[in-house]
Amino acid sequence: MPIVIQYILIGLGFVFAAAYGYGQWKQGRNQDQLDNDSIYKGRIEALELKVKSQSQDIEELTAQIKQLRKDNEEANRKLLEAMSILQGYNPQLTEFIKEGHLYMEQGREFMTYTKLLLIRMDKWLNKESF
Protein backbone atom coordinates (compact mmCIF):
# COMPACT_ATOMS: atom_id res chain seq x y z
CA MET A 1 0.00 0.00 0.00
CA PRO A 2 1.40 3.33 -0.82
CA ILE A 3 2.62 5.44 2.02
CA VAL A 4 0.37 8.40 1.13
CA ILE A 5 -2.73 6.30 1.55
CA GLN A 6 -1.42 5.06 4.90
CA TYR A 7 -0.89 8.65 6.05
CA ILE A 8 -4.38 9.59 4.87
CA LEU A 9 -5.90 6.61 6.66
CA ILE A 10 -3.92 7.41 9.85
CA GLY A 11 -5.01 11.06 9.59
CA LEU A 12 -8.63 10.00 9.10
CA GLY A 13 -8.27 7.65 12.10
CA PHE A 14 -7.05 10.54 14.23
CA VAL A 15 -9.87 12.73 12.98
CA PHE A 16 -12.46 10.03 13.72
CA ALA A 17 -10.90 9.34 17.12
CA ALA A 18 -10.93 13.06 17.92
CA ALA A 19 -14.53 13.37 16.72
CA TYR A 20 -15.56 10.35 18.78
CA GLY A 21 -13.76 11.73 21.85
CA TYR A 22 -15.37 15.14 21.33
CA GLY A 23 -18.80 13.52 20.95
CA GLN A 24 -18.30 11.49 24.13
CA TRP A 25 -17.09 14.57 26.00
CA LYS A 26 -20.09 16.59 24.72
CA GLN A 27 -22.50 13.76 25.59
CA GLY A 28 -20.98 13.48 29.08
CA ARG A 29 -21.31 17.21 29.60
CA ASN A 30 -24.95 17.09 28.47
CA GLN A 31 -25.58 14.07 30.67
CA ASP A 32 -24.03 15.89 33.64
CA GLN A 33 -26.24 18.87 32.91
CA LEU A 34 -29.30 16.59 32.77
CA ASP A 35 -28.23 14.92 36.01
CA ASN A 36 -27.74 18.33 37.63
CA ASP A 37 -31.13 19.44 36.36
CA SER A 38 -32.82 16.35 37.77
CA ILE A 39 -31.00 16.78 41.08
CA TYR A 40 -31.98 20.43 41.27
CA LYS A 41 -35.55 19.64 40.29
CA GLY A 42 -35.71 17.02 43.02
CA ARG A 43 -34.29 19.48 45.55
CA ILE A 44 -36.70 22.19 44.42
CA GLU A 45 -39.66 19.82 44.75
CA ALA A 46 -38.48 18.76 48.20
CA LEU A 47 -38.09 22.40 49.25
CA GLU A 48 -41.53 23.26 47.86
CA LEU A 49 -43.08 20.41 49.86
CA LYS A 50 -41.18 21.56 52.93
CA VAL A 51 -42.35 25.15 52.44
CA LYS A 52 -45.96 23.98 52.01
CA SER A 53 -45.80 21.87 55.15
CA GLN A 54 -44.13 24.71 57.03
CA SER A 55 -46.74 27.19 55.84
CA GLN A 56 -49.43 24.83 57.11
CA ASP A 57 -47.52 24.49 60.36
CA ILE A 58 -47.22 28.27 60.55
CA GLU A 59 -50.96 28.66 60.04
CA GLU A 60 -51.67 26.08 62.74
CA LEU A 61 -49.19 27.70 65.10
CA THR A 62 -50.67 31.13 64.41
CA ALA A 63 -54.15 29.83 65.26
CA GLN A 64 -52.79 28.24 68.43
CA ILE A 65 -51.06 31.48 69.40
CA LYS A 66 -54.29 33.44 68.89
CA GLN A 67 -56.19 30.94 71.03
CA LEU A 68 -53.51 31.06 73.74
CA ARG A 69 -53.59 34.86 73.76
CA LYS A 70 -57.37 34.80 74.09
CA ASP A 71 -57.15 32.26 76.92
CA ASN A 72 -54.43 34.32 78.60
CA GLU A 73 -56.50 37.50 78.41
CA GLU A 74 -59.51 35.67 79.87
CA ALA A 75 -57.39 34.22 82.69
CA ASN A 76 -55.89 37.66 83.42
CA ARG A 77 -59.36 39.22 83.49
CA LYS A 78 -60.62 36.57 85.92
CA LEU A 79 -57.50 36.94 88.06
CA LEU A 80 -57.89 40.72 88.25
CA GLU A 81 -61.56 40.32 89.13
CA ALA A 82 -60.75 37.82 91.89
CA MET A 83 -57.97 40.05 93.24
CA SER A 84 -60.26 43.06 93.29
CA ILE A 85 -62.91 41.07 95.17
CA LEU A 86 -60.33 39.91 97.71
CA GLN A 87 -59.09 43.47 98.14
CA GLY A 88 -62.63 44.61 98.87
CA TYR A 89 -63.35 46.10 95.49
CA ASN A 90 -66.14 44.23 93.83
CA PRO A 91 -67.16 45.74 90.48
CA GLN A 92 -70.69 44.40 90.77
CA LEU A 93 -71.05 45.81 94.28
CA THR A 94 -69.69 49.14 93.08
CA GLU A 95 -72.25 49.19 90.27
CA PHE A 96 -75.01 48.35 92.75
CA ILE A 97 -73.88 51.17 95.03
CA LYS A 98 -73.85 53.64 92.11
CA GLU A 99 -77.40 52.64 91.14
CA GLY A 100 -78.51 52.88 94.78
CA HIS A 101 -76.99 56.34 95.05
CA LEU A 102 -78.83 57.39 91.89
CA TYR A 103 -82.13 56.12 93.28
CA MET A 104 -81.50 57.92 96.58
CA GLU A 105 -80.77 61.18 94.75
CA GLN A 106 -84.03 60.80 92.84
CA GLY A 107 -85.80 59.81 96.06
CA ARG A 108 -84.41 62.87 97.87
CA GLU A 109 -86.33 65.17 95.53
CA PHE A 110 -89.46 63.12 96.06
CA MET A 111 -88.96 63.17 99.84
CA THR A 112 -88.46 66.95 99.76
CA TYR A 113 -91.77 67.44 98.00
CA THR A 114 -93.44 64.93 100.32
CA LYS A 115 -92.04 66.72 103.39
CA LEU A 116 -93.34 70.07 102.13
CA LEU A 117 -96.73 68.48 101.49
CA LEU A 118 -96.80 66.98 104.99
CA ILE A 119 -95.87 70.34 106.56
CA ARG A 120 -98.70 72.03 104.68
CA MET A 121 -101.11 69.30 105.64
CA ASP A 122 -100.01 69.61 109.31
CA LYS A 123 -100.61 73.35 109.26
CA TRP A 124 -103.98 72.92 107.63
CA LEU A 125 -105.05 70.16 110.01
CA ASN A 126 -103.89 72.13 113.08
CA LYS A 127 -105.93 75.14 111.99
CA GLU A 128 -109.01 72.99 111.60
CA SER A 129 -108.67 71.21 114.87
CA PHE A 130 -111.41 71.53 117.53
Task: Give pLDDT tens digits for 46-73.
Answer: 888 888 877 777 888 888 889 999 999 9
pLDDT band at 5 (very low <50, low <70, confident <90, very high): confident
Whether residue 104 lies inside any domain: the answer is yes
Q: Does residue 103 have a pLDDT over 60? A: yes
Inter-residue contact 91 to 81 (CB < 8 Å): yes
pLDDT band at 74 (very low <50, low <70, confident <90, very high): very high
Whether residue 56 lies inside any domain: the answer is no
* pTM for the whole structure: 0.38
Terminal Cα-to-Cα distance of the chain (whole angstroms): 177
Whether residue 45 lies inside any domain: the answer is no
pLDDT band at 34 (very low <50, low <70, confident <90, very high): low
d(CA 127, CA 130): 9
Q: How many domains does the chain have?
A: 1
Q: Residue 113 sits in which domain range?
A: 90-130
Q: Average pLDDT over the chain, rounded to whole?
A: 81
Q: Phi and psi (nearest 5°) for 107?
A: -70, -30
